Amino acid sequence: MSSKIYTGGGDKGTTSLVDGSRISKSSLRLKTYGTIDELNSNIGFLLAVLEDHGNKELFTPDIKFLLSVQNDLFVIGSHLACEDDSSKEKLPEFSTSRIEGIEKQIDHLANLLPEVTEFILPGGTIPAAAAHICRTLCRRTERLVVELHEESKFDNNFIIYFNRLSDYLYTFARYINHQMSHKEMVWKKPEAGE
């Protein structure tokens, strides 16, 4: 016998945190970890797009890395969905080595790309466009994490993580277009009178 997907517990506009306390669904904390979930879902979409519209073999290391990012997001989200310090101790630990891992990925990909001399417009191939959507959503997540951090102090490394992750997603979008032989679209300053 399976359990029901709906409980009715949130029908009055509140939800439970990991520690069991209830908060409004309009709270900054819920908006923050809800946006992390949205980012995670979009990364899942990016992975699906890479498999369907990219060359899966070409991006195998990147797919593996993005799967590890999805796990990171789940861990960070669980920490932000918990206010009680004793309950946080039971959660999976977030390692700062994950930030270093992102930096290594950025450096690796950047070394394979031409230098940026102009503003890059988001788009190009379908997988690159999906990566750019993840990048902009990651920036929104970062802004919410910063705002929540100002209200309720927690590990500052979460802020650093999202800052690096958005840089990675930008670099990865460029890398996808490069690997798929798609010329990058660049911003053109409008001519006078246009």
Please report, for the domain that includes residue 46, its CATH number: 1.20.1200.10
Nearest one of 150, 132, 158 to 78, comparing CA atoms = 158
Could you tell me the end-to-end alpha-carbon distance of the chain, in angstroms, rounded to an integer? 66
d(CA 139, CA 80): 17
d(CA 59, CA 65): 10
pLDDT confidence tier of residue 157, bands split at 50, 70 and 90: very high
Q: Is 8 helix (H, G, I), strand (E, B) or coil?
A: coil
Instruction: Tell me the β-bridge partners of 14.
Output: 24
CA 172 to chain centroid: 13
Residue 187 lies inside a defined structural domain of this protein: no
Residue 57 lies inside a defined structural domain of this protein: yes
Phi, psi of 173, deg, nearest 5: -60, -45
Residue 186 lies inside a defined structural domain of this protein: no
pLDDT tens digit sequence for 57-85:
789 999 999 999 999 999 999 888 876 66
What residues make up the domain containing 35? 23-105+120-179
Cβ atoms of 85 and 154 within 8 Å: the answer is no
Q: Is 90 helix (H, G, I), strand (E, B) or coil?
A: coil
pLDDT for the residue 84: 61
DSSP 123: -
Residue 6 lies inside a defined structural domain of this protein: no
Residue whose entry in the numeric block shows the structure tokens 């992975």? 47
Residue 48 lies inside a defined structural domain of this protein: yes
pLDDT confidence tier of residue 11, bands split at 50, 70 and 90: low
Residue 34 lies inside a defined structural domain of this protein: yes
Cβ atoms of 69 and 62 within 8 Å: the answer is no
CA 139 to chain centroid: 8
d(CA 148, CA 137): 16
pLDDT for the residue 183: 83
d(CA 124, CA 128): 6
DSSP 183: P
Residue 90 lies inside a defined structural domain of this protein: yes
Residue 17 lies inside a defined structural domain of this protein: no
Is residue 44 scored above 70 in pLDDT?
yes
Counted domains in the chain: 1
- Provide the b/e sequence for 119-131 (b: ≥16 CB within 10 Å): ebeeebbbbbbbb
The amino acid at residue 13 is G
